[in-house]
Amino acid sequence: MKSLSDTIARFRALAQQSDPQFIDLILPGAKPCQPAVRYWAMIALGAVHVDASVGPLVLGFRIP
């Protein structure tokens, strides 16, 4: 099992790559989970510029 810091680092790296081929790896992080993971997943979704990222980004604004 990976630690929280490893998970955050993975999503931060995905956000910095801005590669649409990783959308399937990014989407799970956008669901309600640890705030830091969700933060970096949202940054990554905004960076990939694909249609599949729009829905999760909109829903991300609603998560308390």
Quote the tokens at residue 8.
């955050």
Side chain identity, residue 24: D
Residue 63 pLDDT: 60
Phi, psi of 49 (to 5 degrees): 55, 55
Report the C-alpha gap between 24 and 28 in whole angstroms.
Answer: 8
> How many CB atoms neighbour CB 14 within 10 A?
22
Each residue's pLDDT expressed in tens, for the chain with a length of 64 residues: 689 999 999 999 999 998 899 999 999 998 877 899 999 999 999 999 899 999 999 988 776 5
